[in-house]
Amino acid sequence: MTNPRTPGVEYLLRELTPQVLGALSRRYRDFGAAEDAVQEALLEAATQWPTEGLPENPGGWLYKTAFRRLTDHRRSDIARRRREEQVANELAGEELLMSGDDEELDPEQDDTLVLLFMCSHPSLTVTSAIALTLRAVGGLSTKEIGAAFFVPEATMAQRISRAKQLIKQSNVPFSLPSGEERSQRLDAVMHVLYLIFNEGYASSSGTELQRVDLSGEAIRLTRLLMAATPDMPEVAGLLALMLLTDARRAARSGPVGELIPLDEQDRGCWDRDLIQEGIELVWNAMKQGRVGPYQLQAAIAALHDEAASTEQTDWAQIHALYGLLERMGNNPMVTLSRAVAAAMVEGPDAGLRLVDTIAQDAKLQGHYRIDAVRAHLYERAGNQALALEHYRRAAERTASLPEKNYLLSKAARLAQGVSFRLFHGN
Task: Give the phi and the psi of residue 399 in degrees, each rounded to 5.
Answer: -100, 0
Domain containing residue 422: 366-426
Reading the chain (426 residues) residue by residue, the pLDDT tens digits are 433 334 477 777 777 888 888 888 877 777 888 888 888 888 888 888 888 888 888 888 988 888 888 887 777 666 555 544 555 555 555 554 444 444 455 555 567 778 888 888 777 888 888 888 888 877 777 877 776 676 788 888 888 888 888 888 877 777 777 767 777 788 888 988 998 898 888 877 777 788 887 888 889 889 988 988 888 999 999 999 999 999 999 999 988 888 999 999 999 999 999 999 999 999 999 999 889 999 999 999 999 999 999 999 999 999 999 999 999 988 889 999 999 999 999 999 999 999 999 988 887 878 899 999 999 999 999 999 999 999 999 999 988 898 999 999 999 988 886 554 544 444
Specify the number of domains making up the chain: 5
Q: Do residue 294 and residue 238 come from a single domain?
A: yes
Among residues 293, 313, 333, which one ends one of the domains? 313
Answer for the pair 404, 374: CB distance below 8 angstroms, yes or no: no
In a domain, 60, yes or no: yes
In a domain, 209, yes or no: no
Beta bridge partners of 2: 54
Distance CA 1, CA 64 (A): 17
User: Residue 410: which H helix or E strand, with range?
Assistant: helix 401-423
In a domain, 225, yes or no: no
Q: Do residue 200 and residue 284 come from a single domain?
A: no
- Phi-psi sector, 361: left (phi>0), alpha (psi -120 to 50), beta: beta
In a domain, 221, yes or no: no
In a domain, 53, yes or no: yes
pTM: 0.76
| Non-local CB neighbours of 111 within 8 Å, separated by 6+ positions | 18, 19, 21, 22, 23, 25, 26, 174
In a domain, 223, yes or no: no
In a domain, 253, yes or no: yes
Element counts in the chain: helices (H) and strands (E) = 19, 2
Q: Do residue 359 and residue 372 come from a single domain?
A: no
Answer for the pair 197, 214: CB distance below 8 angstroms, yes or no: yes
